[in-house]
């Protein structure tokens, strides 16, 4: 693996910068063509000039593309129909989540009052039974505007950045089918995986397994979700690169045991990564990890070294190219900031703790967790208004259990089709691992001052960190 800066890094990073710039000001084709003409002069100069020209060209193209995508995302034929009621055909595109007053999900409206319209909507369904993800509904709905800013959250802006401009309040509905195509295939994969990773398990243990393996925390109680957040373990409920690595590694191990060639194994790993990404959904951390895993397999097939920075940049470029508004998404910010911290700060922290009286593996976990905590702390504070103070302790406690839980979950899913009793036994063992992780979250969250959520507390934490940093730098020479 190589981390050197290459022209490809500059090009993709510049493309990302241009796409993100469209959020500040949108441009049309004419300025881009003018920039292209200017770049022709750069191309005739020195290698440095050509690299600068390439960067400017990538920024210009990204800026134009980002502007085009934002125009498409902001387009909403349904906005002119707000306030009207009628019968609609809607596809449920996310897992419904029950709230205090209604069930919410995202949907794709296909027809409204016999008029064909294709637009994403936010669904509000009455409490009670809920349709599964992928269901096609015939529903009586009322279109309304999303709520504006309230209690520090602007629902209208948040939904608009996800391409949703209208809320469809459902008064009555009936399922009339299931969607097909790639979306339907992804729905079936998700249902199959959710059923296969935990046969026979119910309650909190199953909910934790689904949160870690599928990134779906909807079945967790508010108290459990709070303890994961306070303890600094909430990130494990989002699918990470570790999940993708274990999926690909599992396929390669099975291929090796069956005597299949490495080339066929790598192709199988690519297919498994693609299927897993489809099953868990296009979360920023999933796309980033999926791109990294796919590029690693492709690099082996091509006989070249994988480039960690290029994988990270390509993942960001794909997400931004699809929706430039994702730059405002907290999940996007936290996922990519954490990986940058692992690439840059974690090795230095690990080296500085070389002589600490800790096992090497524990030092590495502490260094990675501390690096990620430091880099993501401003994002957590600005986006959510809190900081977990004992995240390092909690992550050290659960780190040995995470690979075990994921390995058992994927082994259970593979074994369930061959031997359901053996799969049920593995699931029972994995339920114990999930219970241990939950116990760690409860125990750490119960410690006084495990979380800071006030400005005074934040100032105290910053002061302690500065004093500790000064003492750490002085300690080797004293």
Q: Is the same domain home to 67 and 200? A: no
pLDDT at position 1: 44
Q: Is the same domain home to 212 and 315? A: yes
Q: Is residue 258 part of a domain?
A: no
Which carries the bigger pLDDT value, residue 443 or residue 127? 443
Q: Is the same domain home to 393 and 437? A: yes
Q: Is the same domain home to 405 and 448? A: yes
Per residue in 321-370, pLDDT tens? Answer: 999 999 998 888 888 888 888 888 888 888 877 776 777 778 888 888 88
Mention every residue, 6+ apart, whose C-beta is less than 8 A from residue 122: 104, 105, 106, 107, 146, 159, 164, 166, 167, 168
Q: Is residue 365 part of a domain?
A: yes
Per residue in 232-272, pLDDT tens? Answer: 888 888 777 777 777 877 788 888 878 888 788 878 888 88
pLDDT at position 215: 82
User: Is 432 a residue whose pLDDT tops 80?
Assistant: yes
Q: Is residue 368 part of a domain?
A: yes
Q: Is residue 310 part of a domain?
A: yes
Q: Which domain holds residue 38?
A: 7-74
Of the residues 179, 206, 224, the one at which a domain ends = 179
Q: Is the same domain home to 150 and 290? A: no
When mean pLDDT is compared across 41-45, 310-314, 384-388, 418-422, the lowest value belongs to: 41-45
Q: Is the same domain home to 397 and 419? A: yes
Report the percentage of the chain scoring pLDDT > 90: 22
Report the percentage of the chain scoring pLDDT > 70: 88
Which carries the bigger pLDDT value, residue 373 or residue 123? 123
Q: Is the same domain home to 399 and 470? A: yes
Q: Is the same domain home to 463 and 357? A: yes
Q: Is residue 388 part of a domain?
A: yes
Mean local confidence (pLDDT), 381-409:
86
Residue 144's pLDDT band (cuts 50, 70, 90):
very high
Q: Is residue 147 part of a domain?
A: yes
The domain total for the chain is 3
Per residue in 88-102, pLDDT tens? Answer: 999 999 888 887 788
Q: Is the same domain home to 97 and 141? A: yes
User: Is 2 a residue whose pLDDT tops 50?
Assistant: no
Residue 43's pLDDT band (cuts 50, 70, 90):
low
Q: Is the same domain home to 457 and 413? A: yes
Q: Is the same domain home to 85 and 219? A: no
When mean pLDDT is compared across 35-49, 190-204, 353-367, 377-391, the lowest value belongs to: 35-49
Which carries the bigger pLDDT value, residue 181 or residue 41? 181
pLDDT at position 299: 63
Q: Is residue 450 part of a domain?
A: yes
Q: Is the same domain home to 215 and 351? A: yes
């Amino acid at each position: 693996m190589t981390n050197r800066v290459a022209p490809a890094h500059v090009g993709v990073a510049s493309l990302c910068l241009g796409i993100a710039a469209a959020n500040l000001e949108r441009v049309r084709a004419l300025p881009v063509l003018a920039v292209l003409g200017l770049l022709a002069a750069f191309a005739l100069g020195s290698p440095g000039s050509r690299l600068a020209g390439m960067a400017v060209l990538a920024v210009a193209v990204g800026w134009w593309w980002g502007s085009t995508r934002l125009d498409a995302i902001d387009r909403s034929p349904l906005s002119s129909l707000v306030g009207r009621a009628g019968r609609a055909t809607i596809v449920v595109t996310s897992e419904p989540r029950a709230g205090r007053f209604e069930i919410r999900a995202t949907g794709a409206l296909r027809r409204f009052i016999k008029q064909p319209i294709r637009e994403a909507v936010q669904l509000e369904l009455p409490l009670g039974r809920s349709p599964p993800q992928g269901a096609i509904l015939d529903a009586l709905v009322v279109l309304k505007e999303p709520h504006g800013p309230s209690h520090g959250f602007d629902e209208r802006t948040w939904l608009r950045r996800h391409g949703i401009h209208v809320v469809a309040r459902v008064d009555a509905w009936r399922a009339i089918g299931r969607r097909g195509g790639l979306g339907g295939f992804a729905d079936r994969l998700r249902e199959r995986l959710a059923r296969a990773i935990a046969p026979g398990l119910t309650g909190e243990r199953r909910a934790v397994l689904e949160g870690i393996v599928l990134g779906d925390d909807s079945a967790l109680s508010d108290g459990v979700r709070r303890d994961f957040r306070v303890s600094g373990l909430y990130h494990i409920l989002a699918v990470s690169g570790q999940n993708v690595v274990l999926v690909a590694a599992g396929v390669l191990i099975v291929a090796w045991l069956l005597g299949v060639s490495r080339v066929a194994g790598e192709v199988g790993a690519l297919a498994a990564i693609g299927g897993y990404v489809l099953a868990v959904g296009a979360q920023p951390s999933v796309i980033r990890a999926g791109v990294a895993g796919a590029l690693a397999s492709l690099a082996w097939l091509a006989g070249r070294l994988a480039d960690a920075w290029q994988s990270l940049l390509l993942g960001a470029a794909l997400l931004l190219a699809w929706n430039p508004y994702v730059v405002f998404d907290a999940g996007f910010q936290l996922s990519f900031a954490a990986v940058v911290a692992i690439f840059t700060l974690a090795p230095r922290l690990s080296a500085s703790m070389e002589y600490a009286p800790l096992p090497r593996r524990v030092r590495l976990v502490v260094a990675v967790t501390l690096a990620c905590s430091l880099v993501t702390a401003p994002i957590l504070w600005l986006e959510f208004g809190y900081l977990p103070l004992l995240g390092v302790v909690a992550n050290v406690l659960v780190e040995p259990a995470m690979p075990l839980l994921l390995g058992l979950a994927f082994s259970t899913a593979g074994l369930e089709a061959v031997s359901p009793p053996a799969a049920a036994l593995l699931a029972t063992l994995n339920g114990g691992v999930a219970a241990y992780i939950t116990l760690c979250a409860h125990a750490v969250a119960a410690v006084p001052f495990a979380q800071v959520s006030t400005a005074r507390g934040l100032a105290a934490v910053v002061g302690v960190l500065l004093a500790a940093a000064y003492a750490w730098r002085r300690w080797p020479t004293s």
